């Protein structure tokens, strides 16, 4: 008997929730939600049928690439702060030389060089296809 009463109480709670949702929603809310859902479905469809985006998502799933992106994001944020804090000045060959000698700059040039090599090779392969 007590068990049945509990079930009835639970059902009544569910009905109250359903009624509350019905009362709270308006035509405008339904329209906005449906519009978002509609555009969302179209977007997901375009992404999932786009070979390049799917490849990018697969590659970004790898931990080393995620670390790379996290580092890139941190570097973007830090360099932006540096840029704002540094007064603008005229460049010169000497300043360029000093810049190249700073720790990390050579590593970055090496990374860019490696990226350029692979990117160029991939683009040439695509052309042949």
Partner 1 sequence: MKILIVGGGTGGSIVANNLARQLSGKIRDGEVDITMLSASDKHMYQPGLLYVAFGEMMPDELYRDQASLLESSINFQVDPVEQFKLDENWVKTQSGKTYDYDILVIATGSRVMPNKTPGLDEGAHSFYTEKGAVELFKSLREFEGGKLAIVVGVPHKCPIAPVEFTFALDQYFKDRGIRDKVEIKYHYPINRIHSIENVAKWAKPEFDKMGIEYETLFNVEEVDVENKIVKSMEGSEYQYDMLVSIPEHHGMGVIEDNDLGQNGWIPTDRYKLTMNGHDNVYVIGDTTNLPVSKTGSAAHFEAESVATNIASIIKIGTPVTEYDGKVMCFIEAGHEATYAMFDYLNPPDLKTPNKSMHWLKMSYNQMYWTSVRGLL
Give the up-direction half-sphere exposure of residue 68: CA atoms within 13 A in the CB hemisphere: 9
Out of 8, 41, 60, 100, the only residue in the binding site for partner 1 (CB under 8 A) is: 41
> Can you tell me which of 12, 39, 112, 116 binds partner 1, judged by CB under 8 A?
39
Stretch that binds partner 1, among 37-45, 66-74, 109-117, 120-128 (CB under 8 A): 37-45
The correct pick among 35, 73, 114, 122 for binding partner 1 (CB under 8 A) is 35
Residue 45 binds partner 1, judged by CB under 8 A? yes
Give the span between the Cα atoms of 79 and 73, in whole angstroms. 10
CB of 51 to partner 1, least distance (A): 11
CA 37 from centroid of its chain's CA atoms: 20
Q: Kindly state the smallest distance separating residue 62's Cβ from partner 1, in Å.
A: 28
The correct pick among 8, 14, 20, 25 for binding partner 1 (CB under 8 A) is: 25
Question: What backbone phi and psi angles, to 5 degrees, belong to 92?
Answer: -155, 165
For the chain, the straight-line distance linking the first and the last C-alpha, in angstroms and rounded, comes to 74
Instruction: Report the C-alpha gap between 23 and 14 in whole angstroms.
Output: 14
| Least distance from partner 1 to the Cβ atom of residue 20, Å | 14
CB 60 within 8 A of CB 69: yes
Interface residues with partner 1 (CB under 8 A)? 22, 25, 27, 30-31, 33-35, 37-39, 41-42, 45
């Amino acid at each position: 008997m007590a068990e049945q009463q509990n079930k009835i109480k639970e059902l009544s709670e569910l009905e109250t929730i359903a009624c509350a949702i019905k009362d709270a929603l308006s035509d405008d809310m339904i329209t906005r939600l449906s519009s978002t859902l509609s555009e969302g479905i179209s977007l997901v469809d375009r992404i999932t049928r786009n070979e390049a985006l799917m490849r990018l998502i697969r590659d970004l799933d790898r931990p080393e690439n995620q670390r790379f992106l996290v580092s890139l994001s941190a570097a973007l944020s830090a360099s932006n702060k540096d840029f704002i804090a540094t007064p603008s000045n005229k460049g010169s060959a000497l300043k360029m030389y000093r810049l190249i000698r700073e720790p990390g700059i050579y590593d970055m040039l090496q990374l860019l060089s490696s990226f350029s090599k692979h990117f160029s090779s991939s683009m040439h392969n695509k052309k042949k296809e």
